[in-house]
Amino acid sequence: MVALTWGVLLVSIAVTIAIAVLLAVGLWHRPGIKPSAPGAALEVQRTQGGLRWVWIGVAVSSLILLGSVAWTMQVLARVTSPATQPALTIEVTGRQWWWQIRYLSADPSRSFTTANEIHIPAGVPVLFRLVGGDVIHSFWVPALFGKTDVIPGQTNETWLQARAPGVYQGQCTEYCGLQHARMGFLLIADTPAAFQDWWAHQLQSPAQAMSPEVNVGRSSFNVHCGSCHAVRGTDAAGVLGPDLSHLMTHRTLAAGMLANDAANLTHWISDPQALKPGSMMPKPDITAAELAEIHSYVDTLN
């Protein structure tokens, strides 16, 4: 796959240079004729044999093109499915303008939903089932290939494999409306052991015993945010927006747009339209005190 990309790129560069050189030599290998007054007669002549070079050029081009077709078909056949059975299937739904991620298990109590941050075990292929939501989006992690559209009414599949643990950026790659530019995600490849720990952690609910401010914040959150957002094991069960169960373990907010720090979080909760105009999250009707309380609760969602 990488070889094919480099291959066609190098062929392209070589062809461009070759044509440019042929053109340059053609232009300057003989003195030209100086343009003169309009209407002046200039010499006209026709030498034979030019057509032979056209056929030579076409023949060389044919070999390159046919070879490219053969190589392409070979690579396409190889990358359509992974070399080994995928260890895991993750379900991704594109929503304007964030990513819903569902980890499914044969045991329903081990299934969970998250948003905008995907973890996978490194070193093994992972299958992604792309379930269409509202409009067409496209799921792409540039460093790991696999770009595939997420289309309403159908389920597409792609597979990714990270050779080594690391953090990989992803983004929507099909124009999907106002905030297409800000529909990113992170894909984090963990060692297999760390991945299992991460999965186990996702199944946990937030701690119950909290400070009074946090308790007030939780109620406030459930009222103002719970109709769209869900936090596992609490009364907040909204499905219109991202699942926030472990938001504080995420590195970014607003689908990869903002670093997840205190200032950004406050700003995002208080006025999402100022940061991401047109996004589906309305400016909440809360006082500054309520904002602080909600923030203190969200801070506990580790």
Partner 1 sequence: MAVSDYLRVVTATPAKPALAERLRRIWETPAGIGGWISTVDHKQIGIRYIITAFAFLIAGGVEALIFRLQLAGPNLHLLTPEQYDQLFTMHGMTMIFLYAGPVLSGFSNYLWPLLLGARDMALPRLNALSYWIYLCAGIFLYLAFAFGFGPNDGWFNYVPVAARAYDGGPNIDFYSLGMILLGLSTTVGSINFVVTFLRLRAPGMSINRVPILAWGTLTASAANIFAIPAVSLAFFLLWMDRNAGTHFFDVATGGQPLLWQHLFWMFGHPWVYAIVLPAMGMVSDGLPVFCRRPLVGYTPVALATVATMVLGFGVWVHHMFATGLPSVSLSFFSAASIIIALPSAVGVFAWIATIWAGKPVFTTAFMFFASFIVLFTIGGVSGYMTGAVPVDWQLTDTYFVVAHIHYVLIGINVFPVVGATYFWFPKFTGRMMDERLGRWNFWTMFLGFNLGFFPMHISGLLGMPRRVYTFADGMGWDWLNLITTLGSFVFAIGVLLFVINILVSHRRGRIAGNNPWDAPTLEWSTSSPPPAYNFVVIPTVASRHPLWEDRLEDNDRQQRSEVNRGLALDQGRESLGTTALDAELDVILKMPKDSYTPVILALTLTTILTGLVLHLWWLAIVGALATGIDIIAWLWPDATLGETAEPARG
Within 7-46, the residues that bind partner 1 by CB under 8 A are 8-9, 11-13, 15-16, 19-20, 22-23, 25-27, 29-35, 38-46
Q: What is the pattern of x (binds partner 1, CB under 8 A) and - over residues 249-268? A: -------xx-----------
Q: Looking at 69-77, 226-234, 235-243, 286-294, which segment touches partner 1 (CB under 8 A)?
A: 69-77
Number of neighbouring beta carbons within 10 Å of residue 180: 17
Pick 46 or 163: Cβ nearer partner 1: 46
Q: Looking at 114-122, 171-179, 264-272, 281-289, which segment touches partner 1 (CB under 8 A)?
A: 171-179
Alpha-carbon gap, residue 294 to 291, rounded angstroms = 5
Which of 95, 91, 138 is closest to 118 using CA atoms? Answer: 91
Pick 39 or 108: Cβ nearer partner 1: 39
**CB of 139 closer than 8 Å to CB of 158:** yes
H or E segment to which residue 175 belongs = none
Question: What are the φ and ψ backbone dihedral angles of 170, each rounded to 5 degrees?
Answer: -130, 165
Pick 40 or 83: Cβ nearer partner 1: 40
Least distance in angstroms from the C-beta of 136 to partner 1: 6
Pick 74 or 302: Cβ nearer partner 1: 74
Pick 71 or 198: Cβ nearer partner 1: 71
Residue 99: strand pairing partners: 94
172 touches partner 1 (CB under 8 A): yes
Amino acid (one-letter) located at 122: A
Q: Which residues within the stretch 187-246 sit at the binding site for partner 1 (CB under 8 A)?
A: none
Residue from the set 105, 110, 166, 178 that interacts with partner 1 by CB under 8 A: 178
For the chain, the distance separating the N- and C-terminal CA atoms, rounded to the nearest angstrom, is: 39
Alpha-carbon gap, residue 127 to 160, rounded angstroms = 7
What's the Cα-to-Cα distance from 187 to each of 94, 116, 143, 165, rounded to whole Å?
Answer: 15, 8, 10, 10
**CB of 279 closer than 8 Å to CB of 97:** yes
Q: Which residues within the stretch 82-141 sit at the binding site for partner 1 (CB under 8 A)?
A: 96, 130, 132, 134-136, 138, 140
